[in-house]
Structure 1
Amino acid sequence: MKEKLRFRLGGLLLLLAALSACGATAVIPQDAATGETASASSRMSYILPEEDISADVWPVLSVLQQTAETSIWLPFGAQLEVENIDQNPELPNGCEITSAAIVLQYLGFPVDKVTLAEEYLPTHSPYWEADPNVEFMGNPADELAFYCLPGAVVTAVNAYLEELGSGYQALDISGAPVEELYQWVANGTPVLVWTTRAFSDPLYNYTFQLPNGSWPYSNSHCLVLTGYDTETCYLADPMQEISEVDRDRFALCYEERGSYAVVIAEE
């Protein structure tokens, strides 16, 4: 029994080495990658065509099935050609709606950041009475304003897309593990992510409280995840302060900020 297990684990290491060598660059369909009933062999077949897999590998896949039933198979790296947009000078506090414009333009929609902010984004003044998940706290064109969370961005983007009769929609995927963000990127969809400016430590404003009783951030920021590899995440930053960050730091700041994220995808 020990010899059989040693053979299977050795085979697993050989399989992983082979995948590392070939780069595992296939894009994995979401249903196949995360379905609870999908077998390890069916998930792996999206990385390597079935006819190219030796019969000796399938016992190794059974080990994967027992130990990683819901694992997500990803390429080791992906990079989307997303053009950045500077939020300044028109929207000094408009990182969220500018990030939405970045993704919409990547998808081929010709809307600009100011139009989205002025015509579609729900706002509320005074900012200290606003609910950031429903509306922007103040006006993103003002120097003295705060931020919004996914709910307000989803409202703005979907109002714009509905007006066009588009088949796309904004989706609030907040709470998704960071690996799911990478999966969206690997499948061609950049992700709006909430973090802090330049991935710095959180700073808070203690002059007022939000409706849920928490203190508002004074360095909240939204930017677009456009790529990743084994060590680095790549970004389109409306503040144009940062274009890449250590992958561990990205994950930490994303989770500490509340795991807020939005994608714009076809229905």
Structure 2
Amino acid sequence: MKKWHFIGILLPLLGCSHGSPAENEAQTQQKKDEPFIMESPEPIQEMAVPKPIQKQEQQQQRKTNALLNVPLIKQNPELKYGCEVTSLAMMLKYAGAETNKMKLYTEIQKDPDPLKRSASGDILSWGNPDEGFVGDMKGKSAGYAVFDKPMIDLINRYLPGRAVNLTGKDFENVLDHVSSGYPVVLWTTGDYRLPDRWESWTHGNEVIKTPLDLHVVVLVGFNETTVYLNDPLSGRKQVPVNKKRFVETWKVMQSRAVSYR
């Protein structure tokens, strides 16, 4: 299996931290390609809170647009690799739960398996994000990510029986959920583009293969061409992003998404 060498640059590449080459490349690449983050989004009406709507109206709405006024929370400076729990904090705050990112940091399940590298700097073994957060979320040492199952457990702790795992669903189902008034936490990359830096390591008898430039955001709205995101790393609210290209990246990231009802 091919190995990538990250000696000296491994820590900045892991998880959703600042200063990764992907973010720097994106600034140059966006000058060459069609705009990905749209600086002049089409104005659309915000939906303040979830409210019941008729089935026919719901079908009509999911074809047009929606925008939820989800509070913005920044992951830094406390949680260098904490985009998951920070995004979750935004969603839970919108749902009316009394919590914050640091409380969720202590409560999220963690995989304690330590990072082991070869003499050349390759990752040999580490934790499994399906079981808990891998690494150090605060960034004092290498940190990576956590996937949907531990997040669902945490949602159910605050909203008993209301967690919804949309992982593996069609993106239209995700948009349907947003149009019904519920923000969705989604797994993507730091620049919302297709990942180009993959790594693999062992975890017991398993092999974990995943991109290093993973990031998590909150989907708060959409229209025909655009999705709107609250991004805990950039600290931007309702960031307009090209829908088609965003969905392509989301699918490569295993179509992970969690919410509530």
TM-score (norm. length: structure 2): 0.68
CA distances 1:174-204 after superposition (whole Å, capped 9, x unpaired): 0111111111111000001111112133143
Q: 1:112 Cα deviation (Å)?
A: 0.6
1:89 maps to: 77
Does structure 2 conserve the Cα–Cα contact (< 8 Å) formed by 1:135 and 1:152?
yes
Q: 1:230 Cα deviation (Å)?
A: 1.1
- 1:135 and 2:132 correspond: yes
2:110 maps to: 122
Aligned counterparts of 1:102 and 1:241: Cα–Cα separation in 2: 12
Does structure 2 conserve the Cα–Cα contact (< 8 Å) formed by 1:174 and 1:259?
yes
Alignment of 1:1-267 (within 5 A): 46-47=56-57, 74-127=62-115, 128-143=125-140, 144-159=142-157, 161=158, 166-167=159-160, 169-206=162-199, 208-209=201-202, 212-240=206-234, 243-265=239-261
Q: 1:47 Cα deviation (Å)?
A: 3.4
1:169–1:199: structure 2 CA closer, same or farther, 3 Å change rule?
A: same
1:90–1:226: structure 2 CA closer, same or farther, 3 Å change rule?
A: same
CA root-mean-square deviation: 2.7
Aligned counterparts of 1:251 and 1:205: Cα–Cα separation in 2: 19
Q: Which amino acid aligns with 2:155?
A: V
Does structure 2 conserve the Cα–Cα contact (< 8 Å) formed by 1:178 and 1:251?
yes
Give the count of matched residue pairs. 200
Q: 1:157 Cα deviation (Å)?
A: 2.7
Does structure 1 conserve the Cα–Cα contact (< 8 Å) formed by 2:126 and 2:201?
no
Q: 1:240 Cα deviation (Å)?
A: 1.8
Aligned counterparts of 1:167 and 1:118: Cα–Cα separation in 2: 19
Q: Identity over the aligned pairs, expressed in percent?
A: 26
Q: Which amino acid aligns with 1:47?
A: E
Residue 259 of structure 2 aligns to a residue in which SS?
A: strand
1:116–1:218: structure 2 CA closer, same or farther, 3 Å change rule?
A: same
Q: 1:27 Cα deviation (Å)?
A: 7.6
Aligned counterparts of 2:53 and 2:114: Cα–Cα separation in 1: 46
Q: 1:114 Cα deviation (Å)?
A: 0.7
Residue 47 of structure 1 aligns to a residue in which SS?
A: helix
Higher percent of residues as strand: 2
1:73–1:94: structure 2 CA closer, same or farther, 3 Å change rule?
A: same
CA distances 1:80-117 after superposition (whole Å, capped 9, x unpaired): 00111111111111111111101000111120101111
Aligned counterparts of 2:63 and 2:194: Cα–Cα separation in 1: 30
**Where does the alignment leave 5 or more consecutive residues of structure 1 unmatched?**
1-22, 33-45, 49-70
Aligned counterparts of 1:27 and 1:239: Cα–Cα separation in 2: 33
Does structure 1 conserve the Cα–Cα contact (< 8 Å) formed by 2:152 and 2:165?
yes
Higher percent of residues as helix: 1
Residue 216 of structure 1 aligns to a residue in which SS?
A: strand
Q: 1:167 Cα deviation (Å)?
A: 4.5
Q: Which amino acid aligns with 1:206?
A: E
1:3 maps to: none
Q: Which amino acid aligns with 2:193?
A: S
Q: Which amino acid aligns with 2:176?
A: Q
Higher relative contact order (CA 8 A, sep 6+): 2
TM-score (norm. length: structure 1): 0.67
Aligned counterparts of 1:136 and 1:129: Cα–Cα separation in 2: 11
Q: 1:28 Cα deviation (Å)?
A: 5.9
